[in-house]
Chain A
């Protein structure tokens, strides 16, 4: 189906156009033999990358986009892939090349930057050594000292401050952004003509992401390099791409100039991708309005926390009015310090005060290392606070132990980021859901019925009871994770990055589900959410109030609308600036 719609870039273009083409892929097919039979990962894809352009390859997980990147590098061979079609990098035939010929091309003529900079660098070798190793592999005349000197220069150019001392660092001693810069420095070390970047910013914080993208933009301007940018994130695409290819199920469904596609997508799939990305309307505060307006802890001295059992400004419904002002979970002046190396102390939480009201959704945003996870662990009493207090429904649980915590734990249920890792892989969904029912002492005879009910509440069906977690899709697994949490009939869900490992369309569905569940429960049994995310857009769509964290401190709290309209703290402003650029563009398109 794809051939007709992509004929504009077909391999048999005229010779003048071909001269500008750096990479020419014609009718590429890649398949793997699995126990379930042959799986076609890439099914007849043709495109070209020109010198000095950024071509974005967009699609959701499983669309075959990463397989294309690996195939171009000749790295799918060792995975036992079968390939057909033609791939040319300038005059080289990449599919027909021997392993030895490919070795000479990899790293020198084409280089790749991978998604996860943490696992993609060798943990036991110094980063400078890892860069210089590549230089020496392709330039036998360069000696070790010279290669290391080049590595310093490359790291410096990649924006790593104090590169001369950092060359001696091991990967774990650098931040995620720094490691990705090292990966980029390494990829650029032999000045390749083609750079393949596979989700290079997905694992990074928004501000770091913006810096890496700026660097790639600058690189495109400065050199003749062609960049194949593989991503699922349309925001990144709008920032960087000249042209866009959209993939689905191993085939190209649409391609063209970036602006054209973002403004007026032709294919329904592209339209749905864009729609899923469009920001959800900002939620206005409902049942609960916590501490009034934005407060900046530290600014007002000791009493910067008002107990905030204030009256809601606007409460349309009677039932909600009754629930108003009741705090479910309250943290006051919570601090956590860990002992670091050589008797230093690391303050992970610094005097954090937050209140989660009954039926309220409180979003907590911040970059990695801001202390979000420690805050959650502290609130559900997995980590002990060094100072401060935690109250749950008016009862001090700061020092509660063992059995005292059982009712608290049942009422505060976690939903984790990685539903794949947090569901027992050897148990069926039914068993997973029943653990909560057992805790509530629901009679055994009702288990199956109740488990089915739970599945239906989260939009799944009875047939899912029999499945194992690996037989579910990412979205279905996260729904099961939510159903499992609900099986304890909790008062609050603590959602730790609940949608960050999901594709855009699935993410929107799961967020809708969360909103619906809260509305269903509101009249009789209010359900509160403590939603932790690094993604402002996620938090914005579902939260009543938002708290912004940085370096263990809450720098700003306020009703969502107010915070997004007029952020007070400069860090909040920077965060918003870093991620609002694109959705604006996309929104105008949809």
Chain B
């Protein structure tokens, strides 16, 4: 276990180095990427632009700029070009809504994905299965912004059941937090539920054809017991992988659309605004955050794997 964690941490360092270099270089080469011009303002003279460039070190070699930026990132003093406020403080402020969104939606889509997947598998080919297939397809193909807008209009505006977006802190007002998060959770989960239900359905059907499931029936176990104790645990393995990756993506700001539609001021929204301003430091830090989340959740998934399937060993 210790060896496994050590290897994963080393891997994470390598990933972070590669990602940060790549992100930094992309902004060096894209057209209109010169931050000095934008920072100096629209009416600035060439001299003023030159001054800004010199003051921020944009005239120094690229590797030098990269090293300076990374040093600031690591000691938490990096500031954004456009507003010149501390990036890490901004991200810390936007993390609670994003984490609330990811955790709540993650639980919802996992629960309903598994529920519908199993229901669909045990009624395979019959009415329930076919209806669920159609529902899943509609869910997967409905764009999240459209679904979000529908929810806002009907539940928020017409029926006035739920607040029209925004974020309330869990600690200050738990009920308010819940009502504010409910619609974003639903809007984000629907597509995932559809995908997970389909994946689990085929996984369960595969497992039901296994010899050891036949053995379980031959032992005289009830249908329910065969399903829960012999089929489900073996079918959950692909779901665990999917969930780890999807959850990591949402934590890293992957739910940009949902965050914007419901105005949550989360990490994704912050990243989207920063990209629009070609503001390198925030984009860099958010990207590193996503990479961290993916690597950490990848390790968590591997540990869960080993717990689900004793044939898999962590140290490899």
Contact = CB atoms under 8 A, between A and B. Distances in A.
B310 A172 contact: yes
A125 B211 contact: no
B230 A122 contact: yes
Contact of A186 (B214, B219, B310, B315): B219
A123 B234 contact: yes
A133 B221 contact: yes
B123 interface: no
A124 interface: yes
A134 B230 contact: no
A106 B214 CA distance: 12
A108 B220 contact: yes
B169 interface: no
Contact of B234 (A107, A114, A124): A124
A120 B214 contact: yes
Interface string A313-341: 00000000000000000000000000001
Contacts of A111: 218-219
A103 B212 contact: no
Interface centre among B211, B218, B234, B313 (most CB of A within 10 A): B218
B215 interface: yes
A134 B225 CA distance: 11
Given A124-B234, A124-B310, A134 B219 contact: yes
Given A119-B210, A123-B234, A172-B310, A106 B229 contact: no
A134 B315 CA distance: 34
B313 A341 contact: yes
A120 B220 contact: no
Interface in B301-316: 308-311, 313, 315
A117 to B, nearest CB: 9
Nearest to B309: A124
B233 A124 contact: yes
B222 interface: yes
Nearest to B212: A122
B220 A121 contact: no
Given A120-B211, A120-B212, A125-B229, A341 B221 contact: no
Contact of B310 (A73, A119, A170): A170
Contacts of A122: 212, 215-216, 230, 234
B277 interface: no
**B contact face: mostly helix, strand, loop, or mixed:** helix
**A contact face: mostly helix, strand, loop, or mixed:** mixed
A302 B310 CA distance: 43
Contacts of A78: 217
Contacts, number: 76
Contacts of B218: 73, 75, 106-107, 111-112, 114
Contacts of A75: 214, 217-218
Contact of B225 (A73, A104, A137, A172): A137
Contacts of A542: none
A73 B220 CA distance: 10
Interface string B186-203: 000000000000000000
Contacts of A114: 211, 214-215, 218
A433 interface: no
B221 A137 contact: yes
B219 A119 contact: no
Given A119-B211, A120-B211, A122-B234, A137 B220 contact: yes
Given A120-B214, A124-B309, A170-B311, A104 B220 contact: yes
A112 B220 CA distance: 11
Contacts of A172: 310-311
Contacts of B308: 124
Nearest to A74: B217
A73 B217 CA distance: 9
A244 B310 CA distance: 42
Interface string A356-386: 0000000000000000000000000000000
Contacts of B234: 122-124
A70 B210 CA distance: 15
Contacts of A107: 218-221
Contacts of B313: 341
Interface string B207-241: 00011101111111111010001100110000000
12 contacts: A103-B220, A105-B220, A106-B218, A108-B220, A114-B211, A119-B211, A122-B212, A123-B234, A124-B233, A124-B311, A172-B310, A186-B219
Given A133-B221, A134-B220, 4 more contacts: A75-B218, A120-B214, A124-B234, A134-B221
Interface of B: 210-212, 214-223, 225, 229-230, 233-234, 308-311, 313, 315
Interface of A: 73, 75, 78, 99, 103-108, 111-112, 114, 116, 119-125, 133-134, 137-138, 170, 172, 183, 186, 341-342
